[in-house]
Structure 1
């Protein structure tokens, strides 16, 4: 009976570890294929809000967003 519990716990821990690494790999590939935001998207959003985006302002916002992501 003790062996069944031990095997169950080991299988559970192996499943959790395997699931974590699979989910991590999936999310990394998803973020590489679909980045959260880029300069063109930022430019379009600013134009929709009625602002005329300069390259300096876009660079500042991208740096702020990248800093916040880290």
Structure 2
């Protein structure tokens, strides 16, 4: 085989490996964030208390559902 064919095969294999690695890393991170959200109810409650608001459970539930809806919209 000619040298240029080997070089072309190496370049194609590297590009395919990079694309597959990106895809699988992205899938892993999306699954991880879905299972372990970065903000939970306790964190939200503490942030609201630091801002001087008295958090009611209704307000916390509304904010959590809004954040979950926004996250699900971004994943699609």
Q: TM-score range by the shorter chain?
A: 0.7 to 0.9
Higher RCO structure (Cα 8 Å, ≥6 apart): 2
Question: Matches of 1:48 and 1:30 in 2, distance apart?
Answer: 28
Calculate the TM-score normalised by the size of structure 1.
0.75
Root mean square deviation of aligned Cα: 1.9
Give 4+ residue runs of structure 1 displaced > 4 Å after superposition.
none
Q: 1:47 aligns with which of 31, 46, 49?
A: 49
Matches within 5 A, 1:1-70: 1-20=3-22, 21=24, 23-24=25-26, 25=28, 27-28=29-30, 30-31=32-33, 32=35, 34-70=36-72
Query: How many aligned residue pairs are there?
Result: 67
